[in-house]
């Protein structure tokens, strides 16, 4: 990928982030600052206006981490625009990993999928990349992730303790339920307080 193509890719990403209503202003500023930093560094490292492709590939790899690991409508828009503009970049997407392993790689991707699934489906780009059966399977994986975490929280609430082998899973599940606003769906207010006490006391 040459410099101009990379800069165009960055510009596409900045435009999507800045137009989105789903990112906090601070996140938008951080992303914009990071984009400006990349451009400045590549320009500094260029010799006679010709940047070393090794530097471009290195920055490109780092830049794409966000877009490769995000499960949201913004990521779908980003990759769709790259395709429309014939900017060829390999996508390492979490949904393919989920289909292969029958689970998400980490809690962050699971939370993203749980919160953003309807918007992703509505945008429609997913239909070009996955079959109907694969999309149904992904929905089942999302449901299973939520239900498995719910069962762990319920079990710990009932026993008033967290198994040592499940401590990290418990913490991830608390983050998942909090981030996806699921506590009120399954627990009363006093039960949530009790869960937090169990977690705090275990520490």
Measuring CA to CA, which residue among 112, 110, 80 is closest to residue 16?
80
Sign of CA dihedral 172, 95, 9, 44: positive
Q: What is the pLDDT of residues 169-194, one digit of tens each?
A: 999 999 999 999 999 999 999 999 99
Q: What is the pLDDT of residues 119-151, one digit of tens each?
A: 999 999 999 999 999 999 999 999 999 999 999
Q: What is the pLDDT of residues 77-92, one digit of tens each?
A: 999 999 999 999 999 8
Do the beta carbons of residue 156 and residue 177 sit within 8 Å? no
Q: What is the rounded CA–CA span in Å between residue 130 and residue 187?
A: 35
**Residue 44, pLDDT score:** 83
Q: What is the pLDDT of residues 38-61, one digit of tens each?
A: 999 888 877 666 667 888 889 999
Q: What is the rounded CA–CA span in Å between residue 117 and residue 55?
A: 35
User: Domain residue spans in the chain?
Assistant: 3-84, 94-202
Distance between alpha carbon 91 and the CA centroid of its chain, in Å? 13
Tokens at 72, concatenated:
């949201």
């Amino acid at each position: 990928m040459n410099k101009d193509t990379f800069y165009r890719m960055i510009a596409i990403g900045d435009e999507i982030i800045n137009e989105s209503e789903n990112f906090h202003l601070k996140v938008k500023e951080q992303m914009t600052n990071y984009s400006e930093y990349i451009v400045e560094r590549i320009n500094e490292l260029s010799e006679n206006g010709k940047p070393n492709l090794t530097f471009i590939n290195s920055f490109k790899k780092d830049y794409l981490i966000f877009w490769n690991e995000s499960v949201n409508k913004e990521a779908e828009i980003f990759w769709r625009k790259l395709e429309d503009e014939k900017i060829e970049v390999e996508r390492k997407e979490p949904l393919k990993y989920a289909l292969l392993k029958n689970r998400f790689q980490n809690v962050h991707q699971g939370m993203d999928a749980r919160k953003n699934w309807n918007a992703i489906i509505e945008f429609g780009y997913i239909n070009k990349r996955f079959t109907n059966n694969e999309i149904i399977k992904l929905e089942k994986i999302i449901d299973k992730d939520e239900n498995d975490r719910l069962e762990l929280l319920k079990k710990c609430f009932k026993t008033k303790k967290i198994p040592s082998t499940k401590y990290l899973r418990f913490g991830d599940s608390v983050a998942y339920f909090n981030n996806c606003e699921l506590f009120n769906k399954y627990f009363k207010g006093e039960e949530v307080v009790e869960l937090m006490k169990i977690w705090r006391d275990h520490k």
